[in-house]
Amino acid sequence: MKFNKKLSDIVDISKIEVVKNPIEKAHGLPNECYLNEDYLEFEREKIFKNNWTMIGVASSVPNEGDVKPFNLLGIPLLIIRNKNKEVKVFHNVCSHRGFKLIDKECKLKNVLRCPYHYWSYDFNGKLVTTPHIGGLGKHDVDGFDKTKSNLKEVNSYIWMDLIFVDINSNAQSFKEFIKPLENRWSKFIKKEDRQLIRHSTDYGYFNMEVNSNWKFAIENYCESYHLPTIHPELNKVSNISDHYHIEDKDLSFSGQGSNKYSQQFEGNIKFNCFPNWPSDLYKKAEYVSLYPNVMLGIHVDHFYAFWLEPITNNKTKEHFELYYIGKESASSDEYKDIRKKNFAFWQEVMNEDVIAIEGMQKGRSSPAYNGGNFSPVMDTPTLMFHKWVATNLTK
């Protein structure tokens, strides 16, 4: 189905175009982009369906038959682990009369059975049984070709345990999309090191619902400008002056890095490190917003993904997923206390940011605001994200 609505009915397009100016003359996205519910439909169509969007993590469906639903701005999807241990994503709708197949996370035995008339699909989405389709006791019927009614699979890719989908199959290949970030991080981690990450088996996940548009979380994450004001404690150990900007020239991510990361410890326990991370770079840590909806943090001894589920124009669910290097750090009793400590640390930091993003949401109701003005020094990674949104909206 083609999306035919006009953005110009909701937002003055000249206010979107001005975002693309050089920073001294640019303003940010206009208020409608944060306040207007109809506008959110444009983001669903132009941003979330046309780009690689994160919808969950593979380790949340560890065994075959594990399945969970996800709602991407009204689009029902399901994530399932098949018998070959692969994670697949399908549209969460029965091909018979359109019943939503999976309503809550569960474990399936052999098939995915629609609760309405019991049509069943295997874990690869193939329609396998159609009870009584030809009348009572007749499970096949002339003129109905089962192979044309399989579940509709969504293009997906698992990277560092994170599940990305490309709903419209319009995006570049995932490998192309992620290449600039992988290249950037190849100085820290080699490909084989990526296989070592393990989701923490305790203290590994939290979520929060915030009264903010999803974009404010990304914008805030791009900059270290707010460190002294919003995170005074963090700023004492990792000062604003120890940070640098990160800006991908292909416009797929931006953020900030620190030169002062100190490895976590609890007593004499320290987490295991990425084996190929060079020792002279141990104090580096990088925090990037991977557009549209993921905020990543990489350190020598842990990795996290803080990802966003947009709910409405002013409500967002934030999901935090924490990973360690190897099974021992991620799940052994010995490391439990340090996992707890690290988890509490990040939860505190992310909580502090809620003040920032909810504050921006409240301020955006002011008709006196013109999209704002950017510091040409401190705000360049943030403006990059605004430009990315503006470009997606107008292409």
* Contact partner, 353, from Fe ion, ligand FES, none, Cβ < 5-8 Å per class: Fe ion
Residues β-bridged to residue 243: 258
Q: Which residue has its beta carbon closest to Fe ion?
A: 353
Judged by CB under 6 A, the residue of 114, 181, 227, 390 near ligand FES is 114
| Count of other CB atoms within 10 angstroms of residue 143 | 5
> Least Å distance between CB 143 and ligand FES?
17
| CA–CA gap between residue 224 and residue 215 (Å, rounded) | 17
* Contact partner, 97, from Fe ion, ligand FES, none, Cβ < 5-8 Å per class: ligand FES
| CA–CA gap between residue 17 and residue 161 (Å, rounded) | 36
Q: 137 or 367: whose CB is closer to ligand FES?
A: 137
| CA–CA gap between residue 69 and residue 75 (Å, rounded) | 10
Q: Do 361 and 28 meet the contact criterion of CB atoms below 8 Å apart?
A: no
> Least Å distance between CB 1 and Fe ion?
39
Task: Tell me whether residue 33 is exposed, middle or buried, using C-beta atoms within 10 angstroms of its C-beta: 0 to 12, 13 to 18, 19 or more.
Answer: buried
> Least Å distance between CB 239 and Fe ion?
14
| Positions of E strands within 259-314 | 285-290, 294-298, 302-312
* Contact partner, 3, from ligand FES, Fe ion, none, Cβ < 5-8 Å per class: none
> Least Å distance between CB 258 and Fe ion?
12
Q: Which residue stretch of 109-117, 132-140, 322-330, 352-360 sits at the interface with ligand FES (rule: CB under 6 A)? A: 109-117
Angstrom CA distances, 264 to 15, 156, 272, 297, 341, stand at 45, 34, 10, 14, 9
Residue list 39-98, contact with ligand FES (CB under 6 A): 94, 96-97
Q: 26 or 112: whose CB is closer to ligand FES?
A: 112
Distance of CA 111 to the CA centre of its chain: 29
Q: Is 100 in the site for ligand FES (CB under 6 A)?
A: no
Q: Do 259 and 284 meet the contact criterion of CB atoms below 8 Å apart?
A: yes
Q: 229 or 312: whose CB is closer to Fe ion?
A: 229
Q: Is 119 in the site for ligand FES (CB under 6 A)?
A: yes
Backbone angles phi, psi at 345, to 5 degrees: -60, -50
First to last CA, the chain: 18
* Contact partner, 94, from ligand FES, Fe ion, none, Cβ < 5-8 Å per class: ligand FES
Q: Do 85 and 153 meet the contact criterion of CB atoms below 8 Å apart?
A: no
Judged by CB under 5 A, the residue of 45, 161, 301, 353 near Fe ion is 353
Number of residues that bind Fe ion (CB under 5 A): 1
Q: Which residue stretch of 111-119, 210-218, 366-374, 382-390 sits at the interface with ligand FES (rule: CB under 6 A)? A: 111-119
Q: Per-residue x/- marks for ligand FES, 189-228, CB under 6 A?
A: ----------------------------------------
* Contact partner, 369, from Fe ion, ligand FES, none, Cβ < 5-8 Å per class: none
CB-based contacts of 241, cutoff 8 Å, min separation 6 = none
3-state helix, strand, coil in the chain (%, to 5): 30, 25, 40
Backbone angles phi, psi at 144, to 5 degrees: -115, 115
> Least Å distance between CB 252 and ligand FES?
39
Judged by CB under 6 A, the residue of 116, 144, 244, 345 near ligand FES is 116
Q: Among 240, 264, 244, 262, which residue's Cα sits nearest to residue 254?
A: 244
| Cis peptide upstream of residue 228 (ω within 30 degrees of 0) | no
* Contact partner, 96, from ligand FES, Fe ion, none, Cβ < 5-8 Å per class: ligand FES
Judged by CB under 6 A, the residue of 100, 117, 184, 341 near ligand FES is 117
SS3 state at 92: coil
Q: Is 99 in the site for ligand FES (CB under 6 A)?
A: yes
> Least Å distance between CB 356 and Fe ion?
7
Would you state the structure tokens that stand for residue 247, as one six-digit string? 């800006």
> Least Å distance between CB 128 and ligand FES?
12
Interface residues toward ligand FES, by CB under 6 A: 94, 96-97, 99, 114, 116-117, 119
- Residues at the contact surface with Fe ion, assessed by CB under 5 A: 353
